[in-house]
Structures are given as structure tokens and as C-alpha cells.
């Protein structure tokens, strides 16, 4: 019974960690997109990187 209780607690802890990690990833992606937008105003090469990043992101979402 104690093992089951420990598994349930571990699952809850991992679910919380997973939620936090997903939030951090989303936040970093937002920051990266913001940085790319700023760079695109000044640099053509940065614009090309931004386009490639957006295409990769679309492929990732399609999975």
C-alpha cells in the first residue's frame, strides 16, 4: 500500500514538474520569437533564420 502511495505522489510531482517545464519552454519560445522580430528589422540574415525557425516550429506542431 505504501508503494502505491509513493507512486501516486511521484506521479503528482512529475506532473507538476512537467507543467513547469512546458511553461518555461513556451516562455523561451516567445522570447526567441521576440528577439528574432527585433533582429529582422535590422538584418536580412536574421530574417532568414526567423523564417527557418518558424518552418521548424510548424513541423513540430504538425507531429
Judge whether residue 63 has pLDDT over 80.
no
> pTM, whole model, 2 decimals?
0.64
Q: Looking at residue 33, what DSSP letter applies?
A: H
Per the CB < 8 A criterion, the answer to whether 39 and 46 are in contact is: yes
Which residue has better confidence, 63 or 17? 17
Per the CB < 8 A criterion, the answer to whether 19 and 29 are in contact is: no
Q: Please work out, in degrees rounded to the nearest 5, the angle formed at the alpha carbon of residue 55 by the alpha carbons of 46 and 30.
A: 65
Q: Could you identify the residue written with the cell 517545464?
A: 21
pLDDT at position 43 is 79
Q: Could you identify the residue written with the cell 506532473?
A: 15
The 10s digit of each residue's pLDDT in 5-57 is 888 888 999 999 999 999 999 999 899 888 888 887 777 887 888 888 888 88
End-to-end Cα separation, the chain, in angstroms: 39
Amino acid at each position: 500500500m505504501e508503494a502505491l502511495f509513493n507512486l501516486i505522489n511521484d506521479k503528482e510531482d512529475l506532473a507538476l514538474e512537467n507543467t513547469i517545464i512546458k511553461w518555461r519552454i513556451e516562455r523561451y519560445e516567445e522570447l526567441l520569437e521576440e528577439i528574432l522580430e527585433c533582429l529582422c528589422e535590422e538584418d536580412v540574415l536574421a530574417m532568414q533564420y526567423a523564417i527557418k525557425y518558424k518552418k521548424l516550429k510548424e513541423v513540430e506542431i504538425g507531429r
